[in-house]
Amino acid sequence: MKTINANELSPLQLQNYLQYAIAPRPIALVSTVDSHGNVNLSPFSFFNLFSVNPPLCVFSPSRRVRDNTTKHTLDNLREVPQCVIQVVTPDMLHQTSLSSCEYDKAQNEFVKAGFTALPSELVKPPRVAESPVQLECMVTQIIETGDGPGAGNLVLAEIKKIHVSEAVLSSEGNGIDQTKIQLAARLGGDWYCEIRPENLFKVPKPNVALGIGVDKLPEFIIQSDYLSKNDLARLANIEVIPDADIIEKLKVEYQSLIAGFSNADLDSGVEARFWAEVQKLIRKDEINKTWALLLSCQECLTVSKI
Ligand SMILES: Cc1cc2nc3c(=O)[nH]c(=O)nc-3n(C[C@H](O)[C@H](O)[C@H](O)COP(=O)(O)O)c2cc1C
């Protein structure tokens, strides 16, 4: 691997590594006003949700690398510490990019980018009607992380009101449906990506229980040449290895699958087919079935290895 001392790279060179690697980043489309009421709208991908109690977002209008000047968003927040943060969907991306142009301070980027302004309920900056989630925020702190070109200004924005489009709400009425809200995200340079339902998957994670861990898997599984470390982690995300009683029940449930392997003389061809099946089941997230197959055929495997 190439190893780089961060302090030997210029801010521009650092961007070429860090913005490509720390990606995708969510995009905040932030509206602010100055003390005269001039409206500003700009996107920021140095942005994230920071906590829920209190509900805080952070983003960073950095000092310009080119000439070390500060951005209108930051100047406005110092005058009026309020903003609206809106999420960005793929169908708003070109407008969002256009709003990042360095227009004069008096120029309203809602107009330039063709966004529709909606009055906010609590804060002075207006909302972007096209965004499915608009967060009215009070800015509680701005932390300067330096004073040179590219230095960050960490804005802590406390969310006071959440406006959500009905179209992205779950039918159970308990918040947003992840498959309905399609978001755009920023990567390095001019690269972007979008979240579509077909790209989504779940990783089951027991919240209260502890997975046994890869180190506690039976040795014959750890030693398998056919499973990746990631496959092992999926198997190890169970609280206990199924005991004999459970295995007996699983054997009945999956008997036809197991019969294909357990009585066989596991020569190398059959063994490869066995592990391919295990891998397939793991990747289909059929973990119980995988354990049934693994533990039912464990002896045959051991014998065939000898
Ligand atoms: C998708 C996207 C994300 C951006 N993220 C940031 C960021 O996190 N920090 C930043 O300082 N500039 C970022 N920029 C550039 C600013 O939007 C740009 O400098 C803008 O002119 C600032 O406007 P202002 O001076 O009106 O605040 C981003 C631009 C785009 C298109």
Tokens of 207: 């919240």
Phi, psi of 57 (to 5 degrees): -110, 150
**Residues 35 and 172 reside in one and the same domain:** yes
Compare 206 and 260 and report the one with higher pLDDT. Answer: 260
Assign 3-class secondary structure to 54-119. CEEEEECCCCCCCCCCCCHHHHHHHHCCEEEEEECCHHHHHHHHHHCCCCCCCCCHHHHHCCCEEC
Q: Is 44 in the pocket of ligand 1 (CB under 6 A)?
A: yes
CB 41 within 8 A of CB 210: no
CB 237 within 8 A of CB 211: yes
CA of 200 to the centre of ligand 1 (A): 28
Q: Is 73 in the pocket of ligand 1 (CB under 6 A)?
A: yes
**Residues 40 and 134 reside in one and the same domain:** yes
- Nearest-CA residue for atom 18 of ligand 1: 100
Over the stretch 79-136, which tens digit does the pLDDT of each residue have?
A: 999 999 999 999 999 999 999 999 999 899 999 999 999 999 999 999 999 999 999 9
The total number of structural domains that make up the chain: 2
Question: Which atom of ligand 1 lies nearest, measured to the CA of 97?
Answer: 31
Last residue of a domain, one of 143, 167, 199: 199
Q: Is 60 in the pocket of ligand 1 (CB under 6 A)?
A: yes
Rounded Cα distance, 185 and 191, in Å: 9
Over the stretch 230-240, which tens digit does the pLDDT of each residue have?
A: 999 999 999 99
% pLDDT > 90, the chain: 79
Q: Quick one: angle between helices 255-262 and 287-305, nearest 10?
A: 10
Q: Which pLDDT score, from 0 to 100, does residue 209 have?
A: 81
204 located within any domain: no
Compare 157 and 255 and report the one with higher pLDDT. Answer: 157
CA of 78 to the centre of ligand 1 (A): 17
**Residues 111 and 228 reside in one and the same domain:** no
CATH code, domain carrying 65? 2.30.110.10
CA of 49 to the centre of ligand 1 (A): 18
207 located within any domain: no
**Residues 234 and 289 reside in one and the same domain:** yes
CA of 10 to the centre of ligand 1 (A): 19
Domain that holds residue 300: 214-304
Last residue of a domain, one of 168, 199, 230: 199
Task: Please give the C-alpha separations between residue 177 and each of 26, 27, 167, 183, 195, in angstroms, as whole numbers.
Answer: 17, 19, 9, 12, 13
CB 39 within 8 A of CB 108: yes
CB 110 within 8 A of CB 117: yes
